[in-house]
Structure 1
Amino acid sequence: MGVVADSKVDFGARAALHKWPSLANQRRPDREPYQVSEGTLDECISAFMGKPEATRHLYEIHTAPQPPLVTDILSPEHIIELSRLREFL
C-alpha cells in the first residue's frame, strides 16, 4: 500500500504553533521561536494554513513525534504535506 496508506496520523494530538522572530521577513537565527497558539495538530495545521503564504516560512509546529510521518518539529514544507494528507483522508 505504501507509507501514507499504512501510516495513521493522530491529528487530535496536542501541538503548538511557533513563530520565529524576523527581520525583513527573514528568520532571526540569534533568537528562539515563540509559541503563538496551542491546540490539536489539526488546529495548528489550520492556523498555519491561514497565514499569508509569504510568511509561512517563519512558522513551525511542535508536537509529539508520530513516526514515520510526524516529527517533533514540523517545517513549513512538512506542514503543507500533512495538510494535503489530512484533506486526502
Structure 2
Amino acid sequence: MGGVVAESKVDFGALAVLHKWPSLANQRRPDRASYQVSEGTLDACISAFMEKPAATRHLYEIRTAPQPPLVTEILSPEHVTELARLREFL
C-alpha cells in the first residue's frame, strides 16, 4: 500500500506553471482559455496554489512535465492538494 509513495520520487524542483481559468459566478468558463498566473518550480507553484482561498482553488491548475505515476501534465486542484500533503509528509 504505502510502498508506491515511498518508492516514487517527485521532483518538486521541476519547472511548472500555475494557470487560472476565467470565471463567472465562481465557475470555470469553458469557452475561455486558462492563463498563466506564475511560473517557477513545482514546489513554488504548489505553495502559490495553497495560498489561494479554498473556495477559489477549483479555478486553478498546475502544468508541468509528467512524472509518472504521481505527477501528470495537468494537475487538478484535488491532485495539487494531495501533492501538497505528500510534500509536507516528506
Per the TM superposition, whether the score is higher than 0.5 is yes
Q: Which residue does the alignment assign to 2:84?
A: 83
Deviations 1:30-83 (A, max 9, x none): 011100000000000000000000000000000000000000000000000000
The two structures, once aligned, show a CA RMSD in angstroms of 0.6
CA distance in 2, matches of 1:17, 1:77: 14
Secondary structure at the aligned position of 1:80 is classed as: helix
* Aligned-partner residue type, residue 11 of structure 1: F
Q: Which residue does the alignment assign to 1:32?
A: 33
Unaligned runs of 5+ in 1: none
* Aligned-partner residue type, residue 66 of structure 1: Q
* Aligned-partner residue type, residue 86 of structure 1: R
TM-score by length of 1: 0.98
Map 1:1-89 to 2 at 5 A. Answer: 2-89=3-90
| 1:2 CA drift (Å) | 1.6
CA distance in 1, matches of 2:31, 2:4: 37
TM-score by length of 2: 0.97
% same residue: 84
Extract structure 1 runs of 4+ deviating beyond 2 A: none
CA distance in 2, matches of 1:76, 1:42: 14
CA distance in 2, matches of 1:62, 1:85: 18
